[in-house]
Amino acid sequence: MKSQASTDLFANDSQLVKVLLPLPLAGPYDYRVPPGMDVWPGRFVRVPFGPRRLVGVVWGEGGDSGLEASRIKDLDSVLPLPDLPQANRDLVDWISAYCLAPQGAVLRMAMSVPAVFEPVKPITLYEPMEELPDIRLTAARKRVLTVAADGPARPASDLARDAGVSTGVVTGLADAGALKRISVAPGGYWPQPDPDLPGPGLSELQSKAALEMAEHVKARDFSVTLLDGVTGSGKTEVYFEAVAESLRQGRQVVVLLPEIALSTQWLSRFERRFGVAPAVWHSDLTQSKRRDSWKAVAEGKIQVLVGARSALHLPFPDLGLIVIDEEHDQSFKQEEGVIYNARDMGIVRGRLAQCPVILASATPSLETVVNVREGRFHKLELPERHGVAELPTIELVDILKNSLGRQRWISPPLETALKETLARGEQALLFLNRRGYAPLTLCDGCGHRLECPNCSAWLVEHRFSKRLECHHCGYATRKPDDCPECGAHDSFRACGPGVERLAEEVELILPEARAELVTSDNIYGPAAASAFVDRVTSGETNLIIGTQIVAKGYHFPKLTLVGVVDADLGLAGGDLRAAERTYQLLHQVAGRAGREGHKGRVLIQSANVDSPVMEALAKGDRDGFLEAESNMRELSRMPPFGRLAALIISGMDEVAVDRFCGELARKAPRMDGVLVLGPAPAPMALLRGRHRRRFLIKADKRISLQKLIPQWLNQVKEPSSVRTQIDIDPVSF
C-alpha cells in the first residue's frame, strides 16, 4: 500500500487532512494526523465527532477550513481496510455535484458496509491429494474425487452437491487422506469464472456484435455501446462474450440488473457459460456477506459481480467493463435519499474507470436513442430472435366494443385464446399491473371510499391476507364491518380488478387451468423466484397471472400467449413519459411470448386502441414511436432536449409548507431560457403523512441547473419542519 502514496503527500507542518463522514452534512471536516500515523486519500479512518467515534474516508489535504488550530481534533486510528479507490471518490464528488446532494449523504450510500471487521472464523476447503492413498473406493467416493479433480478447492457442501452425495462422504475422504483440507478466511473463497469454457455457437449477427464489443473491451478505454436487440435475440449471450474478454484481460466486470433478487434464470445462464455463479450484490444480503464481498472486490478476488444500482459504488481496483442490462428500466432511478439514476452514473463510473459501458435493451430509453443519434454512443443491433423463434403477433382488443359484462375483465377473444392455448398444452401469461384484489373499496350506501390516513391514495383490498393496504406507505388495516361514514353494515363493494380478482375470474372461466399468481406479495426472493421458474418449466403451472415482476427477463419456452388485461393503466395522469413507459412495459411483457419453436401471440385490451402507443405496439413500429416521441419532446424543449429538475417541498405542517413555497415562488429565477412551474400539489400530494408540493424547473441546455438551483434556494431560509428534495432529471413529470 505504501508504494501507492504515503505521508509525504501531506508533508506540510500542519499535517491536516480532510475526512468525509457518511452523514447527511455538507462536506469533509479537517482533522490532524497524529505523529506516527500514516494516511493518504482513500484511507478509512476513525475520528471523534461530537461525543461519538465515526468511520470516514480521508478525502484530501486539509488546512483551508479557517478553524482555529486548537479546535481541530486528532484522527483516532486507521482501519485495516483496502482504500476507497480514486474513481469511487470521484464518483461520490460527481454525484454530489450533479444531483445537488451533500457529499456525506452520497458517501453514506456508497459505503453501505460497516467498515469494521470483526474477528472471523476460518472455513475449510477441500482439494485432491497429489497421490491417492490406497483406500476403498465406493461409487460415491469416486464421484467426489472426479468432481474435486475438476476445479479449485471448494467447501465440502459444494463438492457434495456437485457429486450428488452427502457431505459425510467428502469429510470421510479427507479423514482417509484422499482429500486435503485447507483453511481460509471466510470471504476468501471466490471461485473464478472461466472465460474459455465453450459458449453457445453464436449466429453470424450475434458473433459480429460480440466481436465488436470485445474490441471495445480490448481497447481499455471509455466508450458506451447500446446493444439494441429484440426480445429473445440473445443479448445476454452476446454481452457474455464481452465479459469473457474482460476476464481474459484479468480485469473486473460489474453487471447491473433491475431485479437481481429475481434473476435466477440469468444467474444459471451465467453459471452455464462460465462454470461458476457470479458474486451478487443487493440489499437483501446479510451484513457479513456484504462485508466479505466488499473486501473481495477491493482485493480483486471477485472478478464478476452482478448487482443492483449500489454495486456501482463497490471499490473495484481494476474495472474492465460495466454492463447495464434493461437500461431503460425505471428501477435504476433511486427516488429516496440521494436521488440519482444508476444508468447515468454507471456511464460516469465508466468514464472515471476508463472502461467500456454496454447498455442492453429491446426498448432503449429516449435519452439513449438520442445519444446514439448524436454520435455519443455506439450501437449494435440484433434485429431477430435467436434460432427459429419469431417475434409474436400483437393484436389490440378494443374493450369499448367488446362489452365485458359486470365484474368481468377478460374479453371474449382473450378467453378463447386462453382456452385454445392451454388446450394445445402450451402456457399463457395474464398481465395486470395491479397487486391485490381491488384498487378501490367503496360503501354502497353512501359512496364513502376507504383511503389511506397518511397518503393521498385509496386502500387496496388484499383478500388472501384479509387486509386493506396502502401501496405507498405500507399502512395496513382490517376491512371494517361497518362503514365509518354512514354506519351501514357489510356495505363495502370492491371496484375494479387487481390480480387476485383476476385469478377469481380465471377460476370461473378456466376451472381446469393450473394458474399461479405472481406478484411481489408471493415472490419476494431468489428461492421463491427459482421455485416459480421450476413450476413453469416443468409445466406444473400453465397459466401465470402476474404484475410487472413477470414482465422482464423470463424465458419460458412453452409460453405462447400473453394477455394484457388493462393496457391503459399507466397512461392515466399527466406524466409526459407515460407513453414511453407504457410502450416499454408492454413491449417487454409481449416479448415473453413465443421465445422458442412455437409462434407467440399477444392480445392487448385497451380503451385507447387508436392512441399512438397502442398503434405502434400493434404494428411493431418501435422506431416510429420513438421518433414521434422525440419530436414532441424537442418541440417542448423537454429532456433530453432541455434540462429539467423537480423540487419537492414536504412537511407534516401544511401551512408551513405552503408558506415556504410562497417565498420560494417570489424568489424564483426569472431569466431567459428558464421556466419555473409551480408550486403545485406533487404527485402523491400526501405521502406518509407529509404534505408535498412541487416546482418544476425547465431550462435550455446551455443553462446549469446545478448553479441556478442553489442560488435560488439560498435566498430563502428553509424552516426546520420542511424538507426540500432536489430531483435532477426526474423520470416522471
Element (H, E) at 644: strand 643-651
Tell me how far, at minimum, the Cβ of 591 lies from ligand ADP, in Å: 7
Dihedral angle at the C-alpha atoms of 53, 59, 64, 66, nearest 10 degrees?
-20
Q: Which of 452, 561, 593, 648 binds Zn ion (CB under 5 A)?
A: 452
Binding flag, residue 651, ligand ADP (CB under 6 A) = no
Binding flag, residue 581, ligand ADP (CB under 6 A) = no
**Size of residue set near Zn ion by CB under 5 A:** 7
Binding-site partner at residue 232 among ligand ADP, Zn ion, none, CB < 5 to 8 Å by type? ligand ADP
CA-only gyration radius of the chain, Å: 28
471 close to 456: Cβ distance less than 8 angstroms: no
Binding-site partner at residue 289 among ligand ADP, Zn ion, none, CB < 5 to 8 Å by type? none
Select 461 or 580, whichever has its Cβ closest to Zn ion. 461
Angle between helices 526-538 and 264-274 (to 10 degrees): 80
Tell me how far, at minimum, the Cβ of 600 lies from ligand ADP, in Å: 13
Q: From residue 524, how far is each of 503, 521, 527, 537, 649 by CA, in Å?
A: 19, 7, 8, 19, 33
Select 287 or 477, whichever has its Cβ closest to Zn ion. 477
CA 696 – CA 461 distance, rounded (Å): 34
Assign residue 677 a region: left if phi > 0, alpha if psi is -120 to 50, beta otherwise? beta
Select 380 or 468, whichever has its Cβ closest to ligand ADP. 380
The site map against ligand ADP for 260-279 (x = CB under 6 A) is ---------x----------
CA 553 – CA 361 distance, rounded (Å): 11
Q: Which of 30, 158, 228, 237 binds ligand ADP (CB under 6 A)?
A: 237
Binding flag, residue 203, ligand ADP (CB under 6 A) = yes
CA 420 – CA 416 distance, rounded (Å): 6
Binding flag, residue 323, ligand ADP (CB under 6 A) = no
| Cα angle: 550, vertex 224, 619; to 5 degrees | 45
Binding flag, residue 235, ligand ADP (CB under 6 A) = yes
Element (H, E) at 123: strand 123-128
Binding-site partner at residue 472 among ligand ADP, Zn ion, none, CB < 5 to 8 Å by type? Zn ion
Binding flag, residue 597, ligand ADP (CB under 6 A) = no
Q: What proportions of the chain, in percent to the nearest 5, are helix, strand and coil?
A: 35, 25, 45
Q: Which of 86, 203, 265, 454 binds Zn ion (CB under 5 A)?
A: 454
Three-state secondary structure readout of 179-195: EEEEEECCCCCCCCCCC
Binding flag, residue 206, ligand ADP (CB under 6 A) = yes
Binding flag, residue 233, ligand ADP (CB under 6 A) = yes
Helix (H, G, I), strand (E, B) or coil at 325: strand
Tell me how far, at minimum, the Cβ of 562 lies from ligand ADP, in Å: 14
Binding-site partner at residue 511 among Zn ion, ligand ADP, none, CB < 5 to 8 Å by type? none
Q: From residue 451, how far is each of 51, 680, 686 by CA, in Å?
A: 44, 22, 11
The site map against ligand ADP for 540-579 (x = CB under 6 A) is ---------------x------------------------
Binding flag, residue 723, ligand ADP (CB under 6 A) = no
Q: What's the sign of the alpha-carbon dihedral 202, 621, 499, 687?
A: positive
Q: What's the sign of the alpha-carbon dihedral 286, 289, 294, 295?
A: positive
Binding-site partner at residue 455 among ligand ADP, Zn ion, none, CB < 5 to 8 Å by type? Zn ion
| DSSP string computed for 351-416 | HHHT-EEEEEESS--HHHHHHHHTTSSEEEEE-S-STT--PPEEEEEETTTS---TT--S-HHHHH
The site map against ligand ADP for 362-401 (x = CB under 6 A) is ------------------------x---------------
Binding flag, residue 203, Zn ion (CB under 5 A) = no
CA 567 – CA 590 distance, rounded (Å): 12
**Size of residue set near ligand ADP by CB under 6 A:** 16
Tell me how far, at minimum, the Cβ of 229 lies from ligand ADP, in Å: 5
Q: Which of 88, 103, 236, 433 binds ligand ADP (CB under 6 A)?
A: 236
Q: Which of 39, 92, 163, 202 binds ligand ADP (CB under 6 A)?
A: 202
Select 235 or 643, whichever has its Cβ closest to ligand ADP. 235
Tell me how far, at minimum, the Cβ of 364 lies from ligand ADP, in Å: 13
Amino acid at 499: V
Binding flag, residue 472, Zn ion (CB under 5 A) = yes
Residues in the site for ligand ADP, rule: CB under 6 A? Answer: 200-203, 206, 229, 231-237, 269, 386, 555
Residues in the site for Zn ion, rule: CB under 5 A? Answer: 452, 454-455, 470, 472-473, 475
